[in-house]
Structure 1
């Protein structure tokens, strides 16, 4: 598995700082008792949370985002710190507050209702010096299409330009397109931004169902080829409970998913998959092995309610 693209993505396992970029929100998740439980979650934050539990102590996991000056923002920061995530690059934005979302379940499938108009995370790239310092301090970076969607066009352009320079410097820049059409003004803007994100990334982790709807891809193979053409060295196409397609250079690997018969909530499945895959690659493991670990973790996460599953140290041992 010594394709140049794979070798370029392989980490040493020696440590370093991984910086996730995006929005953490207040989560209201329905419990088995019919009551809603408050927590904190969000796509890139979920990945950071799992990364902290999967990576050796030699790695630092940090978050670049924004919070307000209210009590819930302080509670969110305390939750991040308690999870072992470095909050030094979380901006404090006066008169803003965290966004909020509610999860509704239909069987194991979830849908979301959001309240995020005044979200402080929308200002995460508003300070050029802060943005520069955060990215300069990272050895590997992770962002998503939701990260791009919540930013103004000017801030989005600034973030992508800086990520592109990090990629050019040889750092790992991982991107989950995580396409959410309702967050965008129109499809043209959404597709252009997702493609710009892909160009800034060295590792892309698209989901086939999203890509088929947004870009008309007929197969995971078509999705993989499109992201490779946009400049990724390595692409992992997730396909729900189907195989993940790993592609780089001339190599194509279909890695079967773990079959789960007792799924109760798919919230966080893709985020945990990305965390396990990236953690394995940063520790020097091969793509096929990394994909198996990613499937294993995601398969365990969907057996529990909510995006963040406590006791992940036990789960890490089985993946």
Structure 2
């Protein structure tokens, strides 16, 4: 046994986080920012750091470039306590990069894919066989089309070992939201945010679904538990076509929402691996972890420790 609890699969890249007057005005207008920071980003990397911060033994499978940004990613993950042995380096492609235009309650993201789409099913399979985690979490489905195409067969293989599986697709840049039916039937947990749940349920049904309860119920009928992130409202869980639990978030002064959904995922998965936690506990862990992460800039700057999370929940 490797001692790894969770293998996270997906994207790892720096985020260039810009705050202040971030709505672009073309015509060679020059705008002055309040701040600019280069921080660890990528949904999978932020989830992995959040899990490690909560005391969960975590590894990340991803690809970075042989460049300065790749070094930033590896250094940040290592400092957070994440096992980076499943991260490979591509000498020919640049590390992915996201430029985050941050406002207090919203953000826009410009992403250079770089090495992000190059993670292969074979590399994931090799990492899973070597590390033998208790749980596998997949992030940024739509940024990795090669891996996405191979996921149904790969998930069948992983499931035969008794390993549980979760998925957070994140946003689809093409906004087509297709190809998920066979994948969702093969995962134990699906962790979309509100907008993603509505879009994916509409794509599955072939008609607009504007109601979150209907969307969550629809997606859960595919066989997975659906846990929807709803920002300050917390989270809601659906199983077998019905909502089964909900928990609110915290009321905080928001500094930056980048990565809050990924920290929510980390909180939920940490509780999911705790045999003593029921569904309400899992949602409370998730909602508090997501809420606390908005206290600082960047996805990992204010992620909760297990002691901090326990103190708030108490």
TM-score of the two chains, using structure 2 as the length reference: 0.83
Alpha-carbon contact 2:245-2:279 (below 8 Å) kept: no
Q: Identify the structure with bigger relative contact order (alpha carbons < 8 Å, sequence gap 6+).
A: 1
**Distance in 2 of aligned mates of 1:20 and 1:47:** 8
Aligned-residue Cα RMSD (Å) equals 2.4
List alignment gaps of at least 5 residues for structure 1. 1-14
Q: Which residue of 2 aligns with 1:102?
A: 99
Q: Which residue of 2 aligns with 1:39?
A: 39
TM superposition shift of 1:110: 1.2
Alpha-carbon contact 2:49-2:82 (below 8 Å) kept: yes
Q: Which residue of 2 aligns with 1:253?
A: 244
User: Deviation per CA, 1:58-79, whole angstroms, max 9, x where unpaired?
Assistant: x420001001222331232122
Q: 1:259 to 1:92 in 2, by over 3 A?
A: closer
Q: 1:35 to 1:221 in 2, by over 3 A?
A: closer
2:86 aligned with 1:66? no
Alpha-carbon contact 2:247-2:280 (below 8 Å) kept: no
Q: 1:152 to 1:115 in 2, by over 3 A?
A: same
List alignment gaps of at least 5 residues for structure 2. 21-32, 203-207
TM-score of the two chains, using structure 1 as the length reference: 0.82
- Count matched residues: 288
TM superposition shift of 1:168: 4.0
Q: 1:248 to 1:301 in 2, by over 3 A?
A: same
Alpha-carbon contact 1:104-1:112 (below 8 Å) kept: yes
Counterpart of 2:119 (choices 111, 116, 124) is 124
Q: Which residue of 1 aligns with 2:280?
A: 288
Q: 1:298 to 1:311 in 2, by over 3 A?
A: closer
Alpha-carbon contact 1:25-1:42 (below 8 Å) kept: yes
SS at match of 1:79: helix
User: Deviation per CA, 1:270-311, whole angstroms, max 9, x where unpaired?
Assistant: 111111011011012111011011111111112322211247
Alpha-carbon contact 2:13-2:69 (below 8 Å) kept: no
2:212 aligned with 1:225? no
TM superposition shift of 1:106: 2.9
Identify the range of structure 1 (16-25 vs 156-165) with the bigger mean alpha-carbon deviation: 156-165
Map 1:139-288 onto structure 2 (within 5 A).
Answer: 139-144=134-139, 146=140, 148-153=141-146, 155-178=147-170, 180-182=171-173, 184=174, 187=176, 190-192=177-179, 194-214=180-200, 215=202, 216-232=208-224, 234-249=225-240, 252-284=243-275, 285-288=277-280
Q: Which residue of 1 aligns with 2:6?
A: 18
Q: Which residue of 2 aligns with 1:112?
A: 109
Identify the range of structure 1 (64-73 vs 271-280) with the bigger mean alpha-carbon deviation: 64-73
SS at match of 1:34: strand
**Distance in 1 of aligned mates of 2:104 and 2:243:** 34
2:37 aligned with 1:49? no
Counterpart of 1:303 (choices 295, 299, 302) is 295
